[in-house]
Amino acid sequence: MPSNSTNVVGVHYKVGRKLGEGSFGIIYEGTNLLNNLQVAIKFEPRKSDAPQLREEYRSYKLLNGTVGVPSAYYFGQEGLHNILVIDLLGPSLEDLFDTCSRKFSVKTVATLARYMITRIQSVHENNLIYRDIKPDNFLIGRQRTPDANTVFLIDFGMAKQYRDPKTKQHIPYRERKSLSGTARYMSINTHLGREQSRRDDLESLGHVFMYFLRGSLPWQGLKAATNKQKYEKIGEKKQTTSIKDLCAGFPEEFGIYLQYVRKLGFEETPDYDFLRDLFTKALKNNGDTDDGVYDWMLLNNGKGIEKRTTRHQSPRQTAKGTRNPTEGYSSQQQQQQQQQQQTPALQQTENPYGRTQSPMNVKGKLMLVGDPQMTDDNSYDRPDLVMRLTKFYSGLYMKRNFHHLHRELRPTDTVILGDLMDSGRDWDDDKYAAEVDRFRSIFPLKAYYMVGNHDIGFGNGIQKHSLDRFQSYFGPTSYTFEKYGFVFVILDTVSLSSSDPVIRSDALHMLESLGANTSIPAAKPRILMTHVPLFRAPHQTCGPHRQSTSKTIADNAGYQYQNLVTEELTRLILNKVDPVAVFSGDDHDYCKVVHQFGIANNHTVTEITVPTFSMAQGLQYPGVMTLNIDNDGHLIADLCWLPDQVGLFLLYGYLLAFTFALLLIWHAFQRSNNNATAYHLAKEEMGLHHHIQIKPVKRNMAGFLYSTRDVAWVGMLTYLICIFVL
């Protein structure tokens, strides 16, 4: 559990003040260090009796893009806790209810009812039932944001799938089910131990509406010796309290609502429009309209809740974060002039097969790791033992080199340029989680991550679930960060290859906002990083340090192969970003090209494709790049080649064969000498003992083989020790 606000979890989420705690754990306010968005960070013990955050995260991802449902950005483990990062929201309806002296007007309740029904309808349409309706789980947006009056639904830890997403087959009716939810608001059928369905969520909503109108419910405050007995009393009181008595003194539409939902069948689809219309009618009959003004907005002489809700902030808050506005930017023309004045030239030192030396006055040093593409069970069609050895040694190679480079070069930051795993897009969630753990054991230090085609697919082969899952473990796929006087633009060009607007949306939004978003200073030079290399003319060569026989980058269609960003999209990216340098991955080999862009192609920028970091991706000498930024703002890119591990293994093989040959020759020579000595001794004895019959000494083949085997075992053991040590 974080002890202070300096803790960073999930690579780039800074933990701030505690907002509250409950049975699930503790929730903190936090900040996404990549874009300064405010978030909520929920901590749950990993050894909890009933862990919920993983399922809650899956529900958020299933409902991604739904109005009134916060976005989930990350789920993972940090020490002894599960962590979920979601939007930071404002106070809950329970908090606001307290602020309004525990009474809401008919207008406020009827208006809220329409939105709350819509939220639950969205959940049901995504094949889930919520099962924990209560005022604490409905929040409004933060003040002074576009979502300030939006009603949000949070906390999906109890949500359950009630029908098959494909066949729409409903779950079967069952009885003797244990209670789930909050007893004050749960349906009568839930008290009776019956399987919950859509009708139960809606009945619970009806109880919440009456709670807001009345200030309390008839079954509150009941005493009992045990919780079980208390729940039984609450259930009995609900059954004996008539709807007429419960809704007495309030518009009849509230009673009609409860009568309708309590008569619904187990599998029956509710008429959500009819239910919403009830409360539209209630507003009209009460002489009101939905003008977006709630009771809490009328407090403090019309100033609203302002600071009064600070002490009531919900321990479950979450909210649509917005970037902190920055003022005082110059006009676009001034920005361009400033950028041209500040734009540094990209210098490069290329030192193949050796380590580079960094400048002495370096201010920042980024290590760029290209395409680790961690080998897994699906990487190659090889026998099991060979595949296990490939996984082990390729992982060991990357782990040792990563550790050695950080120890020797001491980079200030690390950027991994996509394709983290070879088959990340294909694994199920459990296998993916295990592979993420293996990846982080190889690359244990914090880094900026990019997404690759092997992580989520390419083009129309991109899998939305794979994209969401990648973001949950490694953060957003399109973002910016500012360091050392530069703005680094991490652009998800893999998602941009898709024609699906949902998949493209985040990357396009960031790309479109680069020219106008005041949180990304246009006056500072930008460095673009993309997994997919930008378009270049066919047969454009990559420079003398490319190792492949092909001196150009291939452009093959398909998510398993190397590709290029399209020509049209490349122009758009370069014109929007206006970078001073571009770094890419995907190709596995080094490539350096110069792009022209601008209205009259009057701008140029150098793009360097970083070679793969893995020994298992077909490159004789894997590599890494360091991007040094000195105190004068100059960029110096150093190219470092790593050892040829496959060549070393082949050398080991040659040495092993040579060793065996020498051992066999030596052993045969020794046997020959021993036989000759025995023969001469026998001849000498013959002169002394003429009656002894001399027979030729026969070579004991079995003994020869046994001796050879012993020598071979010694040689093999020595060889294996050398491999593991080296």
| pLDDT tens per residue, range 201-244 | 999 999 999 999 999 999 999 998 888 899 999 999 999 999 99
Residue recorded with tokens 């991955």: 585
| pLDDT tens per residue, range 414-465 | 999 998 988 888 888 888 888 888 998 999 888 899 998 888 888 878 878 8
Q: Which residues of 593-603 are buried (b: 16+ CB within 10 A; e: fewer)?
A: bebebeeeeeb
User: What pLDDT is attached to residue 335?
Assistant: 39
CB 62 within 8 A of CB 126: yes
User: What pLDDT is attached to residue 189?
Assistant: 96
CB 487 within 8 A of CB 35: no
Residue 677 pLDDT > 90, yes or no?
no
User: What pLDDT is attached to residue 336?
Assistant: 39
User: What pLDDT is attached to residue 256?
Assistant: 97
User: What pLDDT is attached to residue 673?
Assistant: 66
**Across residues 326-355, what is the average pLDDT?**
40
Is 42 known as a binding-site position? yes
Rounded to whole angstroms, what are the CA distances from 412 to 366, 368, 445, 530, 561? Answer: 6, 11, 11, 20, 32
Query: CA nearest 616: which of 457, 452, 391?
Result: 391
CB 115 within 8 A of CB 259: no
Residue 327 pLDDT > 60, yes or no?
no
Percent of the chain surpassing pLDDT 70: 79
Question: What span, in angstroms and rounded, lies between the C-alpha atoms of 151 and 326?
Answer: 28
Question: What span, in angstroms and rounded, lies between the C-alpha atoms of 277 and 281?
Answer: 6
Starting at the edge strand found earlier in the chain, the sheet holding 413-416 runs 346-351, 635-641, 623-630, 362-369, 413-416, 448-449
**Residues 6 or more apart in contact with residue 268 via CB below 8 angstroms:** 198, 199
Residue 310 pLDDT > 60, yes or no?
no
| pLDDT tens per residue, range 517-531 | 444 555 688 999 999
132 is catalytic: yes
* Average pLDDT over the chain, rounded to an integer: 81
Residue recorded with tokens 């399987």: 195
The secondary structure of 161-205 as a DSSP string is E-B-TTT-PBPPP--SPPP-S-TTT--HHHHTTPPP-HHHHHHHH
Query: CA nearest 375: which of 358, 360, 359, 389?
Result: 389
Residue 583 pLDDT > 60, yes or no?
yes
Residue 5 pLDDT > 50, yes or no?
no
Residue 552 pLDDT > 90, yes or no?
no
User: What pLDDT is attached to residue 664?
Assistant: 74
User: What pLDDT is attached to residue 313?
Assistant: 40
| pLDDT tens per residue, range 615-651 | 888 888 898 988 988 777 788 888 888 888 777 777 7
Structure tokens at 444: 């244990």
Residue 144 pLDDT > 90, yes or no?
no
Question: What span, in angstroms and rounded, lies between the C-alpha atoms of 475 and 451?
Answer: 10
Percent of the chain surpassing pLDDT 90: 37
**Residues 6 or more apart in contact with residue 590 via CB below 8 angstroms:** 542, 543, 545, 546, 547, 608, 609, 610, 611, 623, 639
User: What pLDDT is attached to residue 219?
Assistant: 96
Q: Which of 416-420, 496-500, 538-542 has the highest mean pLDDT?
A: 416-420
Amino acid found at 464: K
User: What pLDDT is attached to residue 694?
Assistant: 46
Beta bridge partners of 604: 596
What's phi and psi for 342, nearest 5 deg? -95, -10
User: What pLDDT is attached to residue 404?
Assistant: 86
User: What pLDDT is attached to residue 91?
Assistant: 93
3-state per-residue secondary structure call for 275-328: HHHHHHHHHHHCCCCCCCCCHHHHHHHHCCCHHHHHHHCCCCCCECCCCCCCCC
Question: What span, in angstroms and rounded, lies between the C-alpha atoms of 602 and 588?
Answer: 30
CB 179 within 8 A of CB 191: yes
User: What pLDDT is attached to residue 584?
Assistant: 92
Q: Which of 132, 136, 376, 419 is catalytic?
A: 132
Structure tokens at 192: 């009776």
* Residue of 171 and 535 predicted with greater confidence: 171
- DSSP H or E segment with residue 123: helix 106-125
Three-state DSSP class for residue 256: helix
Structure tokens at 216: 């309390």
Indicate the DSSP class of residue 69.
Answer: S
What pTM, to 2 d.p., does this model score?
Answer: 0.49
Residue 354 pLDDT > 60, yes or no?
no
**Across residues 38-58, what is the average pLDDT?**
87
User: What pLDDT is attached to residue 697?
Assistant: 45
Q: Which of 16-20, 131-135, 395-399, 479-483 has the highest mean pLDDT?
A: 131-135
User: What pLDDT is attached to residue 314?
Assistant: 40
Q: Which of 130-144, 324-338, 394-408 has the highest mean pLDDT?
A: 130-144
User: What pLDDT is attached to residue 668?
Assistant: 72
Question: What span, in angstroms and rounded, lies between the C-alpha atoms of 216 and 200?
Answer: 20
CB 2 within 8 A of CB 11: no
User: What pLDDT is attached to residue 652?
Assistant: 74
E-assigned strands of 425-501? Answer: 448-449, 479-483, 486-491
Three-state DSSP class for residue 144: coil
**Residues 6 or more apart in contact with residue 18 via CB below 8 angstroms:** 26, 27, 28, 29
CB 141 within 8 A of CB 40: no
Split at pLDDT 50, 70, 90, the class of 179 is confident
Structure tokens at 185: 């608001």
Q: How far is CA 595 from the centre of its chain?
A: 32
Residue 701 pLDDT > 50, yes or no?
no
Question: What span, in angstroms and rounded, lies between the C-alpha atoms of 726 and 417?
Answer: 28
| pLDDT tens per residue, range 236-290 | 999 999 999 999 999 999 999 999 999 999 999 999 999 999 999 999 999 999 9
| pLDDT tens per residue, range 82-100 | 999 999 999 999 999 999 9
Split at pLDDT 50, 70, 90, the class of 333 is very low
- DSSP H or E segment with residue 52: none
Residue 708 pLDDT > 80, yes or no?
no
CB 627 within 8 A of CB 635: yes
* Residue of 696 and 400 predicted with greater confidence: 400
Side-chain half-sphere CA neighbours of 88 within 13 A? 25
